[in-house]
Copies of this chain bind each other. A is one copy, B any other.
């Protein structure tokens, strides 16, 4: 996809008139003077439903900012000082283009060129859009957010990406992630597999709703075996057309991580903190959405992110080197292990969170409705009350696999410490160590669809496949 500097898309009335007079186009680096301030950034496109009283520029911090037209005194293309001979300070009129001898000096300020002939040397990245906030805009009619931006539009709003990679965007689906299910995981896995088998990519970026992004990251971690490249899921906690959107920086971070690091496998790239300058790259099976709204909602659990992206730098974290020996796939293995896809999931597995007063009938329901496995989210080291024991026994007798994780989220199950844990082990409950409950559920669904017997399924569940079980000694 390439983008022509065109008319200011999405702007209308006063804004359109002003931009036309100023001779600036979408994607131009511009400077805006208001009564109180001076700002420089990239002029962003707007959407039909956006209000008519603002223009939006993307600041160097990655933030988009809306500026009220009535407050604007002048707009200039960046690099052209208003008092240069080639410009004249006239309110609402910007002047000239960037050309000739000015260019080298202004390199940093120029709008990065998009995918063009001379960018063929850049690594190629597939950007697959599945929907979610990162692909959303505010519906100014209802005040809510609707999922509707395509990968193409996304790419247009973050032109910086073209500095680092040739991005090939495509829209695979358009769903909020709460509506994605195991069937969709398979679709996404298959699409990645197709693309990687048809062309050479340096990496794949999946734009995704954040609600269940960690579930999907786990699913792809199991479905795509011996991935030769990084697959990076990226989302946004604020829609892309809002001034405070984290979409741009997350996308840039995901791209830099894919292009500049040597990691293979599935990762999630999102803000590392509330400041708008660091992106954390989390292992797909070890990450969780731990805040409803903060931009740094995603956290690595019981490990650190494998890398952080700060500015243009990808900094590999110590935690990874500590895990490297046992967990990172050595370069030699990557070459020799064949890239495989196992995209099937059996959704007949249930996750049940235990609590005081829990009705053991929930277990009976799961058994009677044809489920093949239960992931219990127990308390502490992996416990449920003793009045659940009879129903768990019946589930076993009916041929279900029953697994134990902890609702504590952090830490490992430790089922030999207390009577309750030992009793559950005696009944046949299978501990899953430090596997996150969400990851455990996804893995069970995958294992059920890819095992020839319950014994194989059980053994696969207790074996580390994609960093979902840490190789540390069990706690006592």
A408 at the interface (CB under 8 A from B): yes
Number of copies: 2
Closest B residue to A409 by CB, please name it.
Answer: B290
A417→B100 CA distance, assembly (Å): 48
**A380 and B178 contact, CB distance less than 8 A:** yes
**B410 and A182 contact, CB distance less than 8 A:** no
Question: Which listed residue, B349, B417, B441, touches A144 by the CB 8 Å rule?
Answer: B417
A464 at the interface (CB under 8 A from B): no
A422→B185 CA distance, assembly (Å): 26
A181 at the interface (CB under 8 A from B): yes
Question: Which listed residue, B181, B353, B380, touches A356 by the CB 8 Å rule?
Answer: B181
Closest B residue to A299 by CB, please name it.
Answer: B410
How many chain A residues touch B (CB < 8 A): the figure is 77
A140 at the interface (CB under 8 A from B): no
Question: Which listed residue, B182, B378, B379, touches A357 by the CB 8 Å rule?
Answer: B182
**A215 and B356 contact, CB distance less than 8 A:** yes
**B179 and A386 contact, CB distance less than 8 A:** yes
Q: Please name all residues of chain B whose beta carbon is closer than 8 Å to the beta carbon of A408 when the two chains form the complex.
A: 289-292, 297
A412-449 with Cβ < 8 A to chain B: 412-414, 416-422, 438, 441-442, 445
Closest B residue to A413 by CB, please name it.
Answer: B292
A207 at the interface (CB under 8 A from B): no
Q: Please name all residues of chain B whose beta carbon is closer than 8 Å to the beta carbon of A379 when the two chains form the complex.
A: 177-178, 211-212, 289
A277→B332 CA distance, assembly (Å): 48
| A147: min CB distance to chain B, Å | 8
| A169: min CB distance to chain B, Å | 23
**B292 and A385 contact, CB distance less than 8 A:** no
**B292 and A355 contact, CB distance less than 8 A:** no
Q: Please name all residues of chain B whose beta carbon is closer than 8 Å to the beta carbon of A293 when the two chains form the complex.
A: 381, 411-412, 414, 475
Question: Which listed residue, B142, B353, B357, B420, touches A445 by the CB 8 Å rule?
Answer: B357
A351→B359 CA distance, assembly (Å): 10
* Given A143-B416, A357-B182, A417-B144, residue A292 in contact with residue B410 (CB < 8 A): yes
- Provide the A210-240 mask, 1 if CB < 8 A to any CB of B, else 0: 1110011000000000000000000000000
Q: Which of A40-48, A247-255, A361-369 faces chain B?
A: A361-369
Q: Please name all residues of chain B whose beta carbon is closer than 8 Å to the beta carbon of A145 when the two chains form the complex.
A: 417-419
A336→B278 CA distance, assembly (Å): 52
A410→B237 CA distance, assembly (Å): 14
| A21: min CB distance to chain B, Å | 34
**A292 and B380 contact, CB distance less than 8 A:** yes
A438→B293 CA distance, assembly (Å): 20
Q: Which 5 A-B pairs have the closest CB atoms?
A: A292-B411, A211-B379, A347-B357, A211-B380, A178-B383
Identify the A interface with B (CB < 8 A).
133, 142-147, 176-182, 184-185, 210-212, 215-216, 289-294, 297, 345, 347, 349-357, 359, 361-362, 365-366, 369, 371, 377-387, 406, 408-414, 416-422, 438, 441-442, 445, 475
